[in-house]
A and B are shown apart, each in its own frame.
Chain A
Amino acid sequence: MVLGVVNYGVYVPKYRIKAEEYIKVWGRFSARGVKEKAVADLDEDVMSMGLGSAEQAIEGVDLRDIKVLSFASTTPPYTEKLLSSFLIEGLGLNKNIFVSEHLSSTRSGTEALISCLSYLKSMGEGLGLVVASDSPSTNMQNDLEHGFGSSATSLLLGFQNVIAEFEGASTYVSEVPGERFKPKNSSKVEDLGLKGYCFTSFMENVNGSLKVLLDKLGRMPSDYNHFIVQQFNGRDPLRAALKLGFAKDQLTAGLLAPLLGDVGTCSTLISFSKVLEEAKPEEKILIVSYGSGAGSDALSFKVTQEPVNKGKVSSALNNKEYIDYLTYLKLKEAIV
């Protein structure tokens, strides 16, 4: 029996701000390779965006078949209180299903995906829903802030009408303090500005999860049509991909940071949705996430058929309205 992705949904808030707006105000823009990024409106948050993406992913299915829900975000609206409850009520899901919530790093999206896949595998039937939604934020004068965008993605998993078969996953974890962290009682991301240190950790962890998965499947980087890697900006993913033995054209379809910014834990899964929309049957997709502190998941999928309802990702990417930096500050409630 084949387990894999059955459907997907995305939610991108309509506001965009261009890199030039930052340059006008700050004289520079620190998120390399990001041309513009998606900005949530005042009445949008990770819960409402997550719900919006989930509505697309579950369209047409019998909701009673959904047996598990996994939610991921690094910016939950509450630090203590269940969050999946909002989705259960908003979507009208069965209240007896198992839920898991993954909140500690940008790796959480793939963590939720692996959790949901594992639960379904143990059940041997039914559908699972993964919702990854993120809107990272920090102080306006922090360089990290330049790249932070907002988006949500949902994946519906199951055993029937699979569009991408799950082939395997592996994880690598190592202790790396001082890189992208949120102190206790703070809602703002911090880092120590140690770029080389962070990139070294990124490479060690990503390589660590990838190598084990590729060995397990007996594959090489060149066996994959698409390579999706965590995108903190638009430039480093290419740098990392080349170092890991992948070519630029394997990265192209899933490279979304130039258009959305760093969408945190949603990054790898929204890129996965974009690739699913364009991939052809038999093509292979390799996903590798990264979370600071640090850890990485690698997952392999094989496309089995084209999705029925195409165009959801491209229409979300194209529906946009540009704002200036002053409007951005108001939306971020940064003027107090």
Chain B
Amino acid sequence: MAYVSVPLYKRTIPQRYGLVGLRCKKCGWINFPPKGVCKNCKESLDFEKVKLSGKGTIYSYTVISAAAAPPEFSKQEKYGGTYVVALVDLDEGPRIVAQLTDCKPGEVKIGMRVKAVLRRIYEDEGVIRYGFKFKPQEEDLNG
């Protein structure tokens, strides 16, 4: 993640805390994160807000270790060890990138069902940045 200023971060809080996306009124496509123009039909500017379920499936993932962690995540890597960043296909359609939590790199599988949880992401200028990560849905952990 590149540097995100506090005002920009503030503007995106509904999507970061509440998974609020935009449904295109023309083609029905759900845009998440929200876009100015619909990513699917590339025409419409007419949207309605929709709260996503936070449920999805892992499309792909990668494991980040010491040398690869961006500066804002270096403290996390130091104390918590390697962590997983995944591409997640949300049930409503969008494919997004996020960290996984509450699971070890060895437990992650492509196709695994996950759900979003709001966690601390990192801290910058004394300001805590909260946002969603994904954790395995219980049924996958049990077998």
Contact = CB atoms under 8 A, between A and B. Distances in A.
Contact of B120 (A44, A90, A330, A333): A44
Given A43-B76, A89-B18, A77 B128 contact: yes
Given A89-B14, A330-B79, A330-B80, A14 B120 contact: no
Interface string B92-107: 0000000001100000
B18 A90 contact: yes
B133 A43 contact: yes
Contacts of B117: 48, 52
A331 to B, nearest CB: 7
Interface string A182-211: 000000000000000000000000000000
Contacts of A43: 76, 80, 101, 119-121, 133
A86 interface: yes
B79 A41 contact: no
Interface string A36-52: 00000111110110011
A82 B106 CA distance: 39
B11 to A, nearest CB: 12
B118 interface: yes
Nearest to B128: A77
Contacts of A331: 79-80
A312 to B, nearest CB: 13
A27 interface: no
Among A42, A47, A52, A78, residue most surrounded by chain B Cβ atoms (within 10 Å): A42
B122 to A, nearest CB: 9
Nearest to A78: B128
A14 B102 CA distance: 8
Contacts of B121: 43
Interface of A: 14, 41-45, 47-48, 51-52, 77-78, 86, 89-92, 330-331, 333
Given A48-B117, A89-B13, A90-B18, 18 more contacts: A14-B102, A41-B80, A41-B101, A42-B76, A42-B79, A43-B101, A45-B120, A47-B130, A48-B119, A48-B120, A48-B130, A86-B17, A86-B130, A89-B14, A92-B51, A331-B79, A331-B80, A333-B79
